[in-house]
Structure 1
Amino acid sequence: MPNPSIKDEELYEKLRDEGNSPEKAARISNAAARDGRKKVGKRGGNAEDYEERTVGELRDRAKELGIEGVSKLRKGELIDRLRNH
């Protein structure tokens, strides 16, 4: 049964098959349904690499995304959690 909160089910399933989290796949597929896939594909690309950020900056980003339990993680672990959220 399709999820009514997912606006582009086909794209959502493709993103999930690629390994994206349910939250990330939903955000991208709903934005694509709202604004068009071509426009969504052009967004982003201006942020610096996680490797170039400090641990404090990575923790702040995790907090913005609602990721819990990051206060004792090392930099590599933080990056992994951020990328796989």
Structure 2
Amino acid sequence: MPARKSPGPSVKDPALYEELRQDGASKEKAARIANAAARTSRSAVGRKGGKAGDYDDWTKDALLRRARELDIPGRSSMTKAELVHALRNH
């Protein structure tokens, strides 16, 4: 098996980058995660985000606004449950 080419000097944690690439992450995503992990601790990277709340807790109007932002087709005739499903699987 041929040796993998180095990801380049912009990747701060090459080992994590290669692991993410093997798991199927794009080059951009793997580099972003590897660099974030190098800046902080690896455990802190996974804790970022998650402040939007669960879609089940959103109002239908809020779900419609979000679906409009993402240009989900058929959103105007969807029920709340259908909107939640469409947003989660977009």
TM range (shorter): 0.5 to 0.7
CA distance in 2 between partners of 1:80 and 1:69 (Å): 13
Q: Give me the TM-score of the superposition, normalised by structure 2.
A: 0.53
Tell me the C-alpha RMSD between the 2 structures: 3.2
1:13-52 correspondence to structure 2 within 5 Å: 13=24, 29=30, 31-32=32-33, 35-36=36-37, 38=42, 40-52=45-57
What is the percent sequence identity of the aligned residues? 35
Larger Rg: 2
CA distance in 1 between partners of 2:29 and 2:55 (Å): 20
Q: Give me the TM-score of the superposition, normalised by structure 1.
A: 0.55
- Shifted more, 31-40 versus 75-84: the winner is 31-40
| Count of residues in Structure 1 that have an aligned counterpart in Structure 2 | 68
- After the TM superposition, which segments of 4 or more aligned residues of structure 1 sit over 6 Å from their partners? none
Q: Which consecutive residues of structure 1, in runs of 5 or more, have no partner in the other structure? A: 1-6, 15-24
Highest relative contact order (Cα 8 Å, sep 6+), 1 or 2?
A: 1
Q: Which consecutive residues of structure 2, in runs of 5 or more, have no partner in the other structure? A: 1-16
CA distance in 2 between partners of 1:49 and 1:40 (Å): 20
CA distance in 1 between partners of 2:54 and 2:22 (Å): 29
CA distance in 1 between partners of 2:79 and 2:86 (Å): 11
